Chain A
Amino acid sequence: MIFYLLRRLAGAVVLLLIVTMAVFAIFFLIPRLGGATSDQLAARYVGKSPTPAAIEQVKHSLGLDKSVPVQYGRFVKGIVAGKDYDTGVRKVHCAPPCLGFSFRNNLEVWPRLQDRIPVTLSLAAGAAVIWLLAGVSIGVISALKRGSLWDRFSMGFALAGVSLPPFFTGLVALALFSYQWPIFKGVHYVPFLDNPASWAWNLVLPWLTLAFLYAALYARLTRAGMLETMSEDYIRTARAKGLRERDVIVKHGLRAALTPILTIFGMDVGLLLGGAILTEQVYSLNGVGKFAVEAIGQQDLPEVLGVTMIAAIFVILANLVVDLLYAVVDPRVRT
């Protein structure tokens, strides 16, 4: 068990290193291969008016004039230990974890990103709870009443869920419940600690919009998983013992069917923490996803880089958590 945990932890660290390499390669190596000079590369990081002096400053600041290994070393060191930037106007110390400095906004990336994370976290966590509960219950009932009206209806609902993107369902929800019947008026993010009730009330529509998409997917997954496990031999054994049908379904069937769903759930939540782009955009929630969209729109490469790193780290963390949970859920994994 300990060995398994250590192995997984080591794996996560290695993966994290690989991610920094990949991100570094995408942002600093591939443009070079495409023929960009260090001046051209530096120009992309400077603000709106790239004067030769500013470019020179940025080039020096990012270490673009050094060799590739040195650049990578500085890049990683910046994340771990922080780094100093010289914008030409002022000297800035970017504290760790330093994900870069936006010359365009004249600000460090991480503090700005840090403000966005609670928004995305609130959105993703609430939606995840809703879609897991709804998706799994719908899937279980569908599997048990296979071929029934309920099954056909809910699988039709599932098809709609996976087919309709949040920028459609979100806008419809806004049109109906914010304008037509103003139940949720002026949706905006309220920090949880300021006012939990208002936090939740404002997030209801975004949660439902996001959860609709995933609930549909999870209903289908759960249905397929339940149909499979309920025909397993150990289900027949459980019935042969005289267990109540409810226990047979929940304790023996669902327990086994949920395990693979847990894996996908971890991945999905991890991905979402890197930004629920469409939902945040529709409801103007200033989360990580909206941050990414804005950064890309402004071609602010340090910010894009920062978001990419954060998103990758969330996926790795989520996977680590899933691996650990797996050890709790499935005894065969432990040995």
Chain B
Amino acid sequence: MPRLLPRRKRDTAAELPKLAPAGPPPEPENFLEVRDLTVHFPTDDGLVRSVDGVNFALQRGRTLGIVGESGSGKSVTSLAVMGLHGGTSARIGGEIWLDGKELVRSTAEEVRLMRGRRMAMIFQDPMSSMHPFYTVGHQIIEAYQVHNEVSAKQARAHAIDLLGRVGIPRPDRRVDDYPHQFSGGMRQRAMIAMALSCDPELLIADEPTTALDVTVQAQILDLIRDLQAEFNSAVVMITHDLGVVAELADDVLVMYAGRAVEHGPARTLFEQPRHPYTWGLLGSLTRLDRARQERLMPIKGSPPSLISLPSGCAFRTRCPYADRNDGREKTEVPQLLEIEPGHRTACHLDPGERERIWTEDIRPRL
């Protein structure tokens, strides 16, 4: 996750752009709905548009995978949903609806009371994400007691129960251990137990397996899936690993340079991807069944600076097909348009042309 930018001058209310009144509440089945979310950081070098107009909706029991390279805005998006940009220079716009309540326009205290209770987050690095001076049990108990009026004894029993549920052996003993006495996989399990302490309806996992061994990764993903089934919670899985997405996600949102470039059901995205960036991500996947002589097809270049994005399509400098658009790619930002029901892409290329490139040129080489 990109480190939050150093704080500059504190914004006064007058400097903040006035938030437009929120639109109508979403359909009740959409537990989480994000509309036109923007997260901008003013810095001495210019405005960093970390997230620039992202939309998605998520229902209970479903999983949304957000995919993209480092700096594409996926973590910043999730932190905005959690209301964790407070205290930084972030300027947040758009709407975030959680169970019919709009969060961007709520007070910090209102959002705090929802954090941990109705929405919880699992972070990437379980070593640095737990406080080294407190026992694992204490940190879980703390999360539980903020939102629940329970005795210390009840809270402790709950913590032991949670540790057992996430698969930690002898939880009644390990509850008094410190994080440094846990292995990496165990710590991530403990983090999950902490996140689940108040039965949250929305669980955001920000690259929960990146720091773990491959064998442990699968266990953690299984655990998240099992717990989701048990609690019927909505899950946002943030990752740069398409394998994880294929494993868990119902829907996928592909982000590039702070914007969504492709959004649709996971199956569609894997079988009929319609954006050159998604093709690039798929081409970068290693596969055991691929012959050794065949090379990976990585995306050329590196992500652009968020301060000075290329004009028009942000991906055009790395896109092999950018020159097929009569110059539109330099002047116009491609809009996220529906090319078939539920499947949206942001690309200037003609959808028919893209379908042809995919079936004739890309898929056979994957």
Chains A and B are bound partners: yes
Distance in Å: Cβ of A50 to nearest Cβ of chain B:
61
Cα-based distance from A236 to B86 in the complex (angstroms) = 10
Contact of A237 among B7, B129, B178, B180 (CB under 8 A): B129
Interface 1/0 per residue, B163-193 and A, CB below 8 Å:
0000000000000001011000000000100
Interface 1/0 per residue, A50-75 and B, CB below 8 Å:
00000000000000000000000000
Are the CB atoms of A241 and B7 closer together than 8 Å? no
Cα-based distance from A28 to B147 in the complex (angstroms) = 69
Contact of B147 among A146, A231, A242, A335 (CB under 8 A): A242
Q: A242-B115, A243-B142 are in contact. Are A256 and B121 (CB under 8 A)?
A: no
Q: Which residues in window 220-251 of A have CB below 8 A to B?
A: 231-234, 236-245
Give chain A residues whose Cβ lies under 8 Å from the Cβ of B114. Answer: 242
Are the CB atoms of B133 and A241 closer together than 8 Å? no
Are the CB atoms of A242 and B113 closer together than 8 Å? yes
Are the CB atoms of A256 and B9 closer together than 8 Å? no
Q: Residue A331 at the B interface, CB < 8 A?
A: yes
Are the CB atoms of B84 and A236 closer together than 8 Å? yes
Are the CB atoms of B129 and A148 closer together than 8 Å? no
Q: A241-B116, A242-B146, A332-B180 are in contact. Are A234 and B128 (CB under 8 A)?
A: yes
Are the CB atoms of A234 and B112 closer together than 8 Å? no
> Nearest residue in B to A252 (C-beta to C-beta)?
B131
Q: Residue A34 at the B interface, CB < 8 A?
A: no
Q: A147-B10, A240-B82 are in contact. Are A234 and B129 (CB under 8 A)?
A: yes
Contact of A241 among B135, B146, B178, B181 (CB under 8 A): B146
Q: Residue A329 at the B interface, CB < 8 A?
A: yes
Cα-based distance from A259 to B134 in the complex (angstroms) = 14
> Chain B: interface residue count, which band?
35 or more
Are the CB atoms of B10 and A332 closer together than 8 Å? no
Q: Residue B120 at the A interface, CB < 8 A?
A: yes
Cα-based distance from A208 to B314 in the complex (angstroms) = 61
Q: Residue B123 at the A interface, CB < 8 A?
A: yes
> Nearest residue in A to B124 (C-beta to C-beta)?
A233
Q: A233-B128, A256-B132 are in contact. Are A240 and B112 (CB under 8 A)?
A: no
Contact of A238 among B10, B131, B132, B135 (CB under 8 A): B131
Are the CB atoms of B123 and A236 closer together than 8 Å? yes
Distance in Å: Cβ of A225 to nearest Cβ of chain B:
14
Give chain B residues whose Cβ lies under 8 Å from the Cβ of A115. Answer: none
Q: Residue A39 at the B interface, CB < 8 A?
A: no
Contact of B84 among A240, A329, A330 (CB under 8 A): A240
- Label chain B's interface by main secondary structure: loop
Q: Residue A48 at the B interface, CB < 8 A?
A: no
Q: Which residues in window 23-41 of A have CB below 8 A to B?
A: none
Are the CB atoms of A240 and B116 closer together than 8 Å? yes
Q: Residue A255 at the B interface, CB < 8 A?
A: yes
Are the CB atoms of A331 and B146 closer together than 8 Å? no
Distance in Å: Cβ of B99 to nearest Cβ of chain A:
16
Interface 1/0 per residue, B98-129 and A, CB below 8 Å:
00000000000000111111001101010011
- Label chain A's interface by main secondary structure: helix
Are the CB atoms of B131 and A256 closer together than 8 Å? yes
Q: Residue B4 at the A interface, CB < 8 A?
A: yes
Cα-based distance from A252 to B84 in the complex (angstroms) = 16
Q: A241-B194, A242-B115, A244-B112 are in contact. Are A233 and B178 (CB under 8 A)?
A: no
Q: A231-B4, A329-B133, A332-B180 are in contact. Are A239 and B115 (CB under 8 A)?
A: yes
Interface 1/0 per residue, A252-273 and B, CB below 8 Å:
1001100100000000000000
Cα-based distance from A10 to B49 in the complex (angstroms) = 58
Are the CB atoms of A243 and B129 closer together than 8 Å? no
Q: A146-B7, A148-B10, A243-B146 are in contact. Are A237 and B130 (CB under 8 A)?
A: yes
Distance in Å: Cβ of A177 to nearest Cβ of chain B:
38
Give chain A residues whose Cβ lies under 8 Å from the Cβ of B143. Answer: 241-242
Contact of A234 among B3, B4, B130, B178 (CB under 8 A): B130
Distance in Å: Cβ of A146 to nearest Cβ of chain B:
6
> Nearest residue in B to A334 (C-beta to C-beta)?
B178
Give chain B residues whose Cβ lies under 8 Å from the Cβ of A255. Answer: 131, 133
Q: A236-B84, A239-B84, A241-B115 are in contact. Are A331 and B132 (CB under 8 A)?
A: yes
- The 10 sampled A-B contact pairs (Cβ below 8 Å) are A147-B8, A232-B128, A236-B84, A239-B115, A242-B117, A242-B143, A242-B146, A255-B133, A256-B131, A331-B180
B binding-site residues for A, Cβ under 8 Å = 3-4, 7-10, 82, 84, 86, 112-117, 120-121, 123, 125, 128-133, 135, 139, 142-143, 146-147, 178, 180-181, 191, 194-195
